Amino acid sequence: MSSITQGRLRAAFARRLSEMYGREVPAYRTLVEVSHEVNLDVLRRAGAGAERLGSIGRVTAERHGAIRVGTPGELRQVARIFGAMGMRPVGFYDLRDTASSAVPVVSTAFRPVTEDELAVNPFRVFTSMLTPGDPRFFDAGLRGRLEAFLSARRLFPPELLELAAEAEAEGGLPEERAERFLRLAVEAFALSAEPIDRAWYEELERVSAVAADIGGVASTHINHLTPRVLDIDELYRRMTGRGITMIDAIQGPPRWAGPDVLLRQTSFRALAEPRVLREPDGTVTTGSLRVRFGEVEARGIALTRDGRRLYDDLMSRADHLARETVPAGSSVSGGSSAGGSSVSGGSPAGAGRGEAARRDAVARSLWEREFPASERDLAVRRMGFFTYHAVEDRPRDGRPPVADLAALLDAGWLRAEPIVYEDFLPRSAAGIFQSNLSGEGVKDDSLTGAGYDLGLLSEAIGREVLDPFALYEAQQERSLRQAARALGLPAVL
């Protein structure tokens, strides 16, 4: 009997989730539509160059989702469901300190990790787990009630978990069971119509809107689904033109003439969605909650640890410089930016667009001075990840090649192909959380945070959380070994 592979399950899941989310959040459909228009325009304008960071087929289907769960046990179940679709936990993100408002979660991303699987479908899900044991957010009483609430709920039906285990063990599922698995998996992430206990939800919301979204309801849901776009600045303009209010900034690297690196993201604010609420007197009413939103992203080249260090350094210098260069007399905008968000793009829509533009200009000029301005520079300064390939019709003038990366690239012996960044940025993630929260929440910084670290997360998941740098590095090294062999060199240095 023909079996649906993990890769096909993943592609089908991403597609069906997108259909469901489009029904739930109509503005998402607009976002996808505008993304497609922009991508086709870029393709027309730039031709084959537009596909340097991924085929148009891949980019058009590409999405990332975000979900939030409450306990290690729930996270382990999620890992099994995504494992069935060939997705592994990659990277550890601690947003508790990155965000200036209360975001009591630690996170990882489930995604395919091999080149072949990424080519089948690169679907990834940013997955956050609540940290009720962190006393900066939750006192002992609230922690106890929160943990009791979470341990009493069941996010995933046993049948789904059994099918997931089978798909993981067998590498896929026979057609009928694949269909059943997909239906149950998509359903598990739909917005539930079950009444929400308003008093409980609001109690948690006073501490943190994220805590309420996770622990104030008896189910989980997809929080957003993000398409990929080839020109995010143009997307931003067109969405604004359609009357959709975007957050102030595009997060991540500034727009500039050099190569696209890492990840640039922007979003529009959560829309109020009708939700069924149970009042303290037992009556059931329809209220509205704003927790879900639209996000879009542009992806660039993965950076090495050195490249990432330079990126982080330039970002924090841009923040400082932007603060220092606030033009005199601009305090008119002071009221709207009060609160001093430490994350760019963090302020609510419209509040600080001028501020965001100023920071972007500062960042751009820093980048123009200090960031590698071409793919070649990224490669030879060992700041970006590439796969390297021996050039077939390389010049053969009898000289033996020098086994040096720069010399081989410049002499046309080696060709470098960018490796796309498949992961997330903690600072942007914190900004995304924060720009869409209804309130700041509270966090008692006089207390020490509980140590939810990478080890604890791996233990909770029951699987090793992979290091993204190591994955990119291994891919680059493989290609270098192959290229060296093809050129008859012992190694490329």
Q: What is the C-alpha separation between 165 and 238, in angstroms, rounded?
A: 44
Residue 128 touches which of ligand OOG, Ni ion, none (Cβ within 5-8 Å per kind): ligand OOG
Instruction: Using CB under 6 A, pick the residue from 428, 435, 476, 479 that binds ligand OOG.
Output: 428
- Name the token pair of 354: 């001028």
Q: Which of residues 56-85 bind ligand OOG (CB under 6 A)?
A: 66, 68
Q: Which of residues 299-328 bind ligand OOG (CB under 6 A)?
A: none
Binding piece for ligand OOG, criterion CB under 6 A, among 7-15, 361-369, 379-387, 425-433: 425-433
What are the C-alpha distances in Å from 286 to residues 162, 189, 282?
A: 35, 21, 13
Q: Which of residues 45-74 bind Ni ion (CB under 5 A)?
A: 66
- Name the token pair of 465: 């959380």
Amino acid of residue 364: R
Instruction: Using CB under 6 A, pick the residue from 433, 437, 460, 484 that binds ligand OOG.
Output: 433
Of 380 and 430, the one with the shorter C-beta distance to Ni ion is 430
Distance of CA 394 to the CA centre of its chain: 39
Residues 264-293, mask of contacts with ligand OOG (x by CB under 6 A): -x----------------------------
Please name the residues in contact with 109: beta carbons below 8 A apart, sequence gap of 6 or more: 64, 89, 90, 91, 93, 124, 125, 126, 127, 423, 424
Q: How far is the CB of 425 from Ni ion (least distance, A)?
A: 10
- Name the token pair of 90: 């990659």
In this structure, how many other beta carbons lie within 10 angstroms of the beta carbon of residue 490? 8
Kindly state whether residue 386 participates in binding ligand OOG, applying the rule CB under 6 A. no
Residue 251 DSSP symbol: B
In this structure, how many other beta carbons lie within 10 angstroms of the beta carbon of residue 271? 17
Residues 207-226, mask of contacts with ligand OOG (x by CB under 6 A): ----------------x---
- Among residues 87, 111, 67, the alpha carbon closest in space to that of 167 is found at 87
Q: How far is the CB of 305 from ligand OOG (least distance, A)?
A: 20
Q: What is the C-alpha separation between 226 and 305, in angstroms, rounded?
A: 26
Tell me how many residues contact ligand OOG (CB under 6 A): 12
Q: What is the C-alpha separation between 433 and 444, in angstroms, rounded?
A: 19
Amino acid of residue 70: G
Binding piece for ligand OOG, criterion CB under 6 A, among 78-86, 193-201, 426-434, 469-477: 426-434
Residue 433 touches which of Ni ion, ligand OOG, none (Cβ within 5-8 Å per kind): ligand OOG
Q: How far is the CB of 66 from ligand OOG (least distance, A)?
A: 4
Q: How far is the CB of 194 from ligand OOG (least distance, A)?
A: 20
DSSP 416-429: EEEPBP-S--HHHH
| Residue ranges that bind ligand OOG, judged by CB under 6 A | 66, 68, 126, 128, 223, 265, 295, 424, 428-429, 432-433
| Residue ranges that bind Ni ion, judged by CB under 5 A | 66, 226, 295
